[in-house]
Amino acid sequence: MKHFLWGTATAAYQIEGGVSEGGRGWSVWDAFCRIPGRVKGMADGDVGCDSFHRFAEDVKMMKLLGVNAYRFSISWPRIQPTGRGEANPAGIAYYDRLIDLLLENGITPFVTLYHWDLPLDLQMAHDGWLNPEIVRDFSRYAKICFDAFGDRVKHWITFNEPWCVARLGHGSGCFPPGRVSDSEPYSAGHHMLLAHAHAARLFREGSGGGVIGIANNCDFREPLTDSPEDREAAQRSLEFFYGWFTDPVVFGDYPRCMRERVGSRLPEFTTSEQALLKGSCDFLGLNHYTTLYASATPPAEQSADGNGGMNADQEVYLSADPAWEQNDMPWNIVPWGFRKLLNWIAARYPGYAVYVTENGCTCAEPDAAAALNDEQRCRFLRDYTAAMQTAIDEDGVDVRGYFCWTLMDNFEWVHGYGKRLGLIRVSPDNLERVPKASFYAYREIIRNSR
């Protein structure tokens, strides 16, 4: 797989720490973590993996792992403490050092501009993603990053999983800003899409070169039966999930089924906005973790809630095969669903390269021995990368990179530190970087592919 990017991925708030250092402002997650009942154990990212101070150790571990790419996110409040105004020199300097060190070690920086850490002031004073003005705010932030780092960074992602910000932050309310609504997710998502489009235009107008895309999450939906109704339900579920934030950046508008089912709650793009959105990605990112069956009527087996968009608007029932192995989330481990989803994306969006921007497995690790000998994650990595290889070799899907989620155990959002996804064992109580069995399994996968 010549020129293929094998990497790992992280998010700023989960690993950096240093929340009050280097001129960083607070993000919505800093505040959310301090509301009782929102995050398990009232954990927070104040320390995380302390990568703000120890990024050189992280890069050393990546070098040992053998990856040739690292996907990390830039903390918006570290660059602009309130989300507006001049750039923070100390924040620029931190990412300068990280990027330079990656390049010195032959590791390609793959940079995400937004991984959920909205500057708190933009939320409190300006209504965050519900205010159309945030499109301009994000564009200005993006330009600061392009100007500061674009001479060395040639792979950019505007948003990581905007679905989570929209659906979990403004629909169910389990993520910040913690709002519950059946219409706000569509408004928040609309503004993120426009922010992406404007940032992509600025990127292409610049002289730095490179490529820009978006990382959208999606679980696969297999029809429960071969009936036309179940096949339509599976298709509809995928369109409400991956299509919600991918159709606009490829075709210029939302999927038709969303227009039909959401009605006036789904905002309209103007003609000029459609033109700006259409083709605003050079590649498509995919964050994928699991598979469920989809049906038009309730299945006989116990159903699952799933997480593929606004469930009531979809009118899709989700279920699982009880024989499927599950991880600690618990999510189903179904490698063939990964292959099928890659084929679905290739068929719906022909001509677009795909980067698997996240794929990984959370495992129960009650003690150090279990953490270091994480055989379930080893099997997961082997089986899922094999499914991807088959999609490339036999199906002709244009996949150009794979990023294992995640490099290190870290702050796992509302789960606190209770879920373990990393190749390296680390926690706020013990910041020693210790490779797990899956670290070496992933290293062998990389070596055998070259």
Residue 412 structure tokens: 């796992």
- Asked if the structure places residue 411 within a domain, the reply is yes
Residue of 16, 161, 273, 365 marked active site: 161
Determine whether 325 is an active site residue.
no
Predicted confidence at residue 161, as pLDDT, reads 98
Q: What is the mean predicted confidence (pLDDT) over 35-55? A: 97
* Confidence at 155, pLDDT banded by 50, 70, 90: very high
Predicted confidence at residue 304, as pLDDT, reads 57
- Asked if the structure places residue 210 within a domain, the reply is yes
Q: How many domains does the chain have?
A: 1
Predicted confidence at residue 356, as pLDDT, reads 99
Distance CA 242, CA 340 (A): 14
Residue 220 host element (H or E):
strand 220-223
pTM: 0.98
pLDDT over 80 (residue 310): no
pLDDT over 60 (residue 307): no
pLDDT over 90 (residue 167): yes
Q: Apex CA 14: angle with CA 284 and CA 237, to 5°? A: 40
Predicted confidence at residue 293, as pLDDT, reads 96
Query: Residues forming the annotated binding site for substrate?
Result: 14, 115, 160, 289, 405, 412-413
Using one digit for the tens of pLDDT, what is the confidence trace for 170-182? Answer: 999 999 999 999 9
> In the Cβ-directed half-sphere of 106, how many Cα atoms lie within 13 Å?
8
For residues 399 and 2, the answer to whether their CB atoms sit within 8 Å is no
pLDDT over 60 (residue 373): yes
Query: Could you tell me the residue range of the domain that residue 174 belongs to?
Result: 5-219+227-288+327-449
- Asked if the structure places residue 314 within a domain, the reply is no
Using one digit for the tens of pLDDT, what is the confidence trace for 219-255? Answer: 999 999 999 999 999 999 999 999 999 999 999 999 9
- Asked if the structure places residue 313 within a domain, the reply is no
Using one digit for the tens of pLDDT, what is the confidence trace for 255-292? Answer: 999 999 999 999 999 999 999 999 999 999 999 999 99
- Asked if the structure places residue 237 within a domain, the reply is yes
Distance CA 163, CA 242 (A): 9
Task: With CA atoms as reference, report the closest residue to 119 among 157, 90, 81.
Answer: 81
Predicted confidence at residue 303, as pLDDT, reads 56
Using one digit for the tens of pLDDT, what is the confidence trace for 335-349? Answer: 999 999 999 999 999
Residue of 184, 239, 273, 358 marked active site: 358
Which residues make beta-bridge pairs with 284? 214, 354
Residue 276 host element (H or E):
helix 271-277
Q: Apex CA 163: angle with CA 75 and CA 296, to 5°? A: 165
pLDDT over 80 (residue 301): no
- Asked if the structure places residue 312 within a domain, the reply is no
For residue 3, the tally of other CB atoms under 10 A from its CB is: 7
With the C-alpha atoms ordered 64, 68, 73, 75, is the resulting torsion angle positive or negative? positive
CB within 8 A of 219, min separation 6: which ones? 241, 288, 289, 290, 291, 292, 306, 307, 308, 337, 341
Q: What is the mean pLDDT of the chain?
A: 96
Distance set, CA 350 to CA 251, 314, 347, 357 (Å):
11, 25, 6, 19
The enclosing domain of 349 has a CATH number of 3.20.20.80
- Asked if the structure places residue 300 within a domain, the reply is no
Distance CA 251, CA 248 (A): 5
- Asked if the structure places residue 109 within a domain, the reply is yes
Query: Residues forming the annotated binding site?
Result: 14, 115, 160, 289, 405, 412-413
* Confidence at 305, pLDDT banded by 50, 70, 90: low
Predicted confidence at residue 299, as pLDDT, reads 86
Task: With CA atoms as reference, report the closest residue to 75 among 28, 31, 40.
Answer: 28
Distance CA 409, CA 407 (A): 7
Q: Mean pLDDT lowest for which of 131-135, 368-372, 395-399, 407-411?
A: 368-372
Using one digit for the tens of pLDDT, what is the confidence trace for 59-78? Answer: 999 999 999 999 999 999 99
Predicted confidence at residue 311, as pLDDT, reads 76
pLDDT over 90 (residue 450): no
Determine whether 444 is an active site residue.
no
- Residue in this structure with the two tokens 């929102």, named with its chain if needed: 38
Predicted confidence at residue 257, as pLDDT, reads 97
